[in-house]
């Protein structure tokens, strides 16, 4: 066998997605170790909000045992810049996996990339906050968006497939459409696993006796790992707005922020001032009748409520909110946490290219991150 090549992996965030990613990393590590020439994926950092394990001597952490080790570790988190300084001294390439929803970490991506460290992440914050940050990230990365037409070899690569539609091939499909010269005219569909789950459960049919209460289904979506760490970030429409911002920017629209277009919030006005997600969840059942009223009104028109988003490229119009659909409509017929993303393009004409499937959940999201890991590995070797 030829000499083993090596890539160092640094994981920040070990919640639902981070844990599932570590499981997939272990499987991939075993596979790549056996290929010829072997490639070693060596885990050297795991970090959560209040503690970390960093291998200063670059020795491999044992992935199946690392979470238990982290639990019992006393190593507090130094500022991330210190960790980054150490990672830049690695004897081989480093890939940082950001499995958090931290905006603070997201704003450091440009400097991480400039240091030659690649990033893979399901965290939407970096790509859907200010347009300046977006520009800064992709002018720092080795793979400028929307597709690598040139490379800056000393910089790191960045991929973020799971920021839209979790592991579904949404960004890679869009990149292929653009790279092969198609023109996107419209993107529309259901972009939130949480919202899909909620409306499929609260209003599965036109029958008033079917469907759970809104607050109980929100609690279920949270326990299934579909919601953002704070479910209000889903219910206020911002999570979908962030995904549409990312897609619109990839298409070339200079969207300034995810609040720059109409976004419907499902948070009752009275609960906008809740100081915590827990307080919000406790009080939400008091407002279930509001959703029942909306549901009843839609059913009178013979329609089902669904939470959707759209980008009209020519008019640069982006919008997010509730709409009503005939029960036979593909959007109304979704199941579970499924997303559906319709790409209308010049080549595909009036029959869109459709990507559909689970749009939230730890394993399917981690799968998109692991697929991004493979993309970076291919570019590095």
229 binds ligand NDP (CB under 6 A): yes
Element (H, E) at 342: strand 338-345
As measured in angstroms, the least distance from the Cβ of 371 to ligand NDP is 13
Binding to ligand NDP in span 30-49, by CB under 6 A? 47-49
Distance CA 159, CA 197 (A): 27
Name the catalytic one among 93, 222, 243, 303.
243
Binding to Na ion in span 100-129, by CB under 5 A? none
Does 18 show up as a binding residue in the annotation?
Answer: yes
* Residue of the chain from 133, 360, 367, 369 that contacts ligand LTNE7NMQ (CB under 6 A): 360
In angstroms, the first-to-last Cα distance of the chain is 17
Does 56 show up as a binding residue in the annotation?
Answer: no
- Of 19-27, 152-160, 187-195, 285-293, which segment contacts ligand LTNE7NMQ by CB under 6 A? 187-195
- Of 85-93, 183-191, 253-261, 359-367, which segment contacts ligand NDP by CB under 6 A? 359-367
* Residue of the chain from 13, 116, 165, 258 that contacts Na ion (CB under 5 A): 165
Does 13 show up as a binding residue in the annotation?
Answer: yes
As measured in angstroms, the least distance from the Cβ of 167 to Na ion is 6
CA distances from 66 to 28, 94, 176 (A): 16, 19, 37
Task: Choose the contact partner of 168 out of ligand LTNE7NMQ, Na ion, ligand NDP, none; CB within 5 to 8 A by kind.
Answer: Na ion
Task: Choose the contact partner of 14 out of ligand LTNE7NMQ, Na ion, ligand NDP, none; CB within 5 to 8 A by kind.
Answer: ligand NDP
Q: What Rg do the C-alpha atoms of the chain give, in angstroms? A: 21
Distance CA 333, CA 325 (A): 9
Does 14 show up as a binding residue in the annotation?
Answer: yes
* Residue of the chain from 8, 11, 100, 178 that contacts ligand NDP (CB under 6 A): 100
Does 100 show up as a binding residue in the annotation?
Answer: yes
Write the DSSP symbol of residue 166: T
In 3D space, the residue among 311, 306, 307 whose CA is nearest the CA of residue 345 turns out to be 311
- Of 94-102, 167-175, 238-246, 247-255, which segment contacts Na ion by CB under 5 A? 167-175
In 3D space, the residue among 197, 201, 202 whose CA is nearest the CA of residue 290 turns out to be 202
Does 44 show up as a binding residue in the annotation?
Answer: no
Distance CA 311, CA 185 (A): 8
| Cis peptide preceding 37, ω within 30 of 0 | yes
- Decide: helix, strand or coil at residue 40: strand
* Residue of the chain from 116, 122, 189, 231 that contacts ligand NDP (CB under 6 A): 122
φ/ψ of 207, rounded to 5, equals -70, 125
Per the DSSP assignment, residues forming a β-bridge with 43 are 9
170 binds Na ion (CB under 5 A): yes
Are 5 and 381 contacting, i.e. CB atoms less than 8 angstroms apart?
A: yes
166 binds ligand LTNE7NMQ (CB under 6 A): yes
φ/ψ of 190, rounded to 5, equals -110, 120
> Is 243 an annotated catalytic residue?
yes
Are 167 and 356 contacting, i.e. CB atoms less than 8 angstroms apart?
A: no
The position carrying tokens 């059942």 is 285
Q: How many residues bind ligand LTNE7NMQ (CB under 6 A)?
A: 11
Does 16 show up as a binding residue in the annotation?
Answer: yes
Distance CA 355, CA 99 (A): 24
* Residue of the chain from 14, 113, 198, 221 that contacts ligand NDP (CB under 6 A): 14
Are 146 and 177 contacting, i.e. CB atoms less than 8 angstroms apart?
A: no
121 binds ligand LTNE7NMQ (CB under 6 A): no
Chain contacts with ligand NDP (rule: CB under 6 A): 12-18, 47-50, 99-102, 104-105, 122-124, 162, 166, 193, 225-226, 228-229, 360-362, 365
Chain contacts with ligand LTNE7NMQ (rule: CB under 6 A): 166, 192-194, 226-228, 234, 239, 359-360
Catalytic residue annotation: 243
């Amino acid at each position: 066998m030829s000499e083993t090549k090596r890539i160092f992996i640094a994981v920040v965030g070990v919640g639902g997605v981070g844990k599932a990613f570590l499981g997939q990393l272990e499987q991939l590590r075993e596979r790549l170790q056996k290929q010829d020439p072997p490639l070693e994926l060596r885990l050297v950092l795991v970090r959560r909000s209040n503690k970390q394990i960093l291998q200063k001597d670059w020795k491999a952490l044992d992935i199946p045992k690392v979470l238990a080790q982290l639990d019992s570790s006393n190593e507090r988190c130094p500022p991330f810049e210190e960790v980054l300084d150490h990672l830049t001294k690695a004897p081989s390439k480093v890939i940082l996996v950001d499995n958090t929803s931290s905006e603070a970490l997201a704003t450091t991506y440009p400097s991480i990339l400039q240091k030659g460290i690649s990033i893979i992440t399901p965290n939407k914050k970096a790509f859907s906050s200010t347009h300046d940050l977006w520009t800064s990230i992709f002018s720092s990365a080795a793979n400028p968006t929307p597709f690598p037409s040139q490379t800056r070899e000393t910089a790191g690569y960045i991929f973020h497939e799971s920021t839209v539609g979790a592991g579904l091939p949404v960004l890679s499909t869009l990149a292929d459409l653009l790279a092969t010269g198609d023109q996107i005219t419209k993107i529309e569909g259901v972009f939130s696993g949480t919202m899909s789950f909620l409306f499929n459960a609260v209003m599965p049919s036109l029958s008033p006796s079917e469907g759970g209460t809104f607050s109980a289904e929100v609690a279920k979506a949270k326990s299934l790992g579909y919601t953002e760490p704070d479910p209000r970030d889903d219910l206020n429409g911002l999570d979908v707005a962030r995904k549409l911002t990312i897609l619109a920017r990839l298409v070339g629209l200079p969207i300034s922020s995810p609040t720059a277009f109409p976004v419907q919030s499902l948070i009752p006005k009275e609960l906008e001032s809740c100081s915590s997600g827990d307080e919000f969840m406790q009080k939400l059942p008091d407002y279930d009748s509001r959703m029942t009223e909306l549901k009843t009104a839609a059913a009178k028109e013979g329609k089902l409520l669904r939470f959707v988003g759209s980008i009209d490229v020519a008019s640069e119009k982006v919008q997010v909110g509730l709409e009503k659909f005939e029960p036979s409509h593909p959007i109304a017929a979704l199941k579970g946490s499924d997303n559906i993303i319709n790409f209308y393009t010049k080549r595909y004409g009036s029959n869109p290219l459709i990507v559909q499937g689970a749009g939230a959940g730890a394993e399917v999201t981690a799968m998109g991150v692991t697929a991004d890991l493979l993309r970076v590995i291919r570019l590095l070797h």
